[in-house]
Chains A and B, each alone.
Chain A
Amino acid sequence: MIEEVFDVAVIGGGPAGLAAAVSASENGAEKVVILDRNSWLGGILPQCIHDGFGVEETGVSMTGPEYANMYIELAEKHGVTIMSETMVLGFNKKLEIIAVNKEGVYKIKTRGIVLAMGCREKTRWNVMIPGDRPSGVFTAGVAQAFINLYNIMPGKNVVILGSGDVGLIMARRLKLEGANVLGVVEILPYASGLPRNVVQCLDDYDIPLYLNHTVTYIKGRDRLESVTIAKVDKNMNVIPGTEKEIKCDTLLLSLGLIPENELSKNAGVEIDNITRGPRVDQFYETNIPGVFACGNCLQVYDTVDALSVGARHAGKYVAQRLKQEKTKNSEIFVKPGEGVRYVVPQRVNQSGPVHFTLRVTQPGESVFLNVTSDGKKIYRKKLRFVNPANMINFEMNVDKTLLRSNRSLEVSVHG
Chain B
Amino acid sequence: MGASAGHVAEQADVERRRGGFSSRRVFILAAIGSAVGLGNIWRFPYVAYENGGGAFVLPYLVALLTAGIPFLLLDYAIGHRHRGSAPLSFARLRRGTEGLGWWQVGICFVIAIYYAAVLAWALRYTVFSVDRAWGSDPEGFFFGEFLQAGDVRVTADVVPGVLVPLALVWLLVLVIMALGVQRGIGATSLVFIPVLVLAFAALVVQALLLPGAGAGLDALFTPDWSALTEPSVWAAAFGQIFFSLSVGFGIMITYASYVRRREDMIGSGLVVGFSNSSFELLAGIGVFAALGFMAQANGVAVGEVASDGIGLAFIAFPAIINEAPAGAVLGVLFFGSLVIAGLTSLVSVIEVVISAVRDKLDTGRLTATLGVVVPVAVLSLVLFSTTSGIYVLDVVDHFVNQYGILVVALVSMLVVAWGLRALVGLGEHLNVHGRPRVGTGWRVLTSVVAPAGLAIVLVLGLRDDLAAPYEGYPTWLLLVFGWLMVAALPLVGFLLARLPWRAGTHLDGPPPGSDPAAPLHATATTDPSPGDHRETGHDEEGHR
A and B associate in one complex: no
Chain B residues in the interface with A (C-beta under 8 A): none
Chain A residues in the interface with B (C-beta under 8 A): none
